[in-house]
Amino acid sequence: MMKSGLVFVFTHIDFEDDLPVEIIPGHFFRRASTNESSFIRELLSRSAYPVLNRGLAYEHIVKEERRENGASFHRELLPPEKWKYWVIAFNGSNFQIRDLEYAAQLIEHDLDFGFELFFNDENQEGEWAGNSYLPMHLVERYNSPEEANLNAVKVSSFELNQLANNYDKIKSLPKRFSFIDHSIKNFFEIKKLPKRSDLRVVGYFSIIEALITHDPRLNESLDSIGHQVRNKIVLLKKKFSRQISEDTYFLHAKVDKIWQQLYSYRSCVAHGNIPDFKTKFQILKDRENVNRFLKEIIKELLVLAFNEPEFFEDLKNC
């Protein structure tokens, strides 16, 4: 039986507050030690993917040089004590990582967890004795020159506190609110779809519908799923902890028009048609823009839902 372990935080982040941070009992967020960093580097170096093989930018700051005809990027090596290999370390057997991962996807700068390393000794001492594999959806997401040229996102201790609160709320959610628990897990599963898949929008809307809509009442003309989504989202956004403005993502239009377009795009994909962002869906700009927006909306919806489950249970029936 392994006596300790750690999970590598695969997202390229930086953290400047006091360390370590105990996120949940016995699970500490901290910078990887020198030995742990070498183990992580070894596992990354085994990747057949060129960007991952170079270790992304964990050991560098990326600097951009502007020119008349574009820009170029170059890396500046950091001293080892500033390398950005971050881990969540624990002693004993660990069964909480997946629930922590569910919670970590709902903070503002959501975190992806990579492989786990397991040790025969406590406190991650000695050589590692085993490891899990890097999830393929993370390989697909991060194996690009664009990703490699991004600097680390700053994550705050406030966000780690949110992660801990999310974890507690998810773990204590009563079984009667299984529709919320199911939505959290489905949100995680959507990550596994290819980044450029049109099916992401269908998955995102299925989560929104599961959280806030009921089957349409045939005797009420204004009770369609699309109508419920448009009207309820406008009200729910007033309760979000972060402002998510449609104008930040899309061409200027009335909020109701944008949500009509979003739902129409979802229906287009669901019925096997090819969406045209040059004409019909011009307001939405492109697929990735839509996905970024819906992802942030759902993060806020889920946090609100497990904080106010009774409210969402009533909302579904309205």
Statement: the pTM of the whole predicted model exceeds 0.85: yes
Average pLDDT over residues 300-304: 97
pLDDT interval class at 56 (50, 70, 90): low
| 276 Cβ neighbours under 8 A, 6+ residues apart | none
Whether 317 has a pLDDT exceeding 90, the answer reads no
Per-residue pLDDT, 219:
61
Cis upstream peptide for 20 (omega within 30°): yes
Q: 111: how many CB neighbours lie within 10 A of its CB?
A: 23
Whether 95 has a pLDDT exceeding 80, the answer reads no
| 289 Cβ neighbours under 8 A, 6+ residues apart | 249, 250
Alpha-carbon gap, residue 297 to 305, rounded angstroms: 12
Which pair of structure tokens corresponds to residue 177?
């609110």
Q: What does the domain layout of the chain look like in residue ranges?
A: 4-161, 174-317
CB 178 within 8 A of CB 305: no
Whether 148 has a pLDDT exceeding 80, the answer reads no
SS3 302: helix
Cα-based torsion angle of the residue sequence 244, 245, 248, 253 in order, rounded to the nearest 10 degrees: 150
Per-residue pLDDT, 149:
74
pLDDT interval class at 152 (50, 70, 90): very high
Average pLDDT over residues 101-108: 96
Q: φ and ψ at 92, to 5 degrees?
A: 80, -175
Beta strands 13-14 and 153-154 are parallel
CB 297 within 8 A of CB 103: no
Instruction: Give the model confidence (pLDDT) of 241-296 as tens digits.
Output: 999 999 999 999 999 999 999 999 999 999 999 999 999 999 999 999 999 999 99
Average pLDDT over residues 78-92: 93
The residue type of 43 is L
pLDDT interval class at 49 (50, 70, 90): low
Whether 144 has a pLDDT exceeding 80, the answer reads no
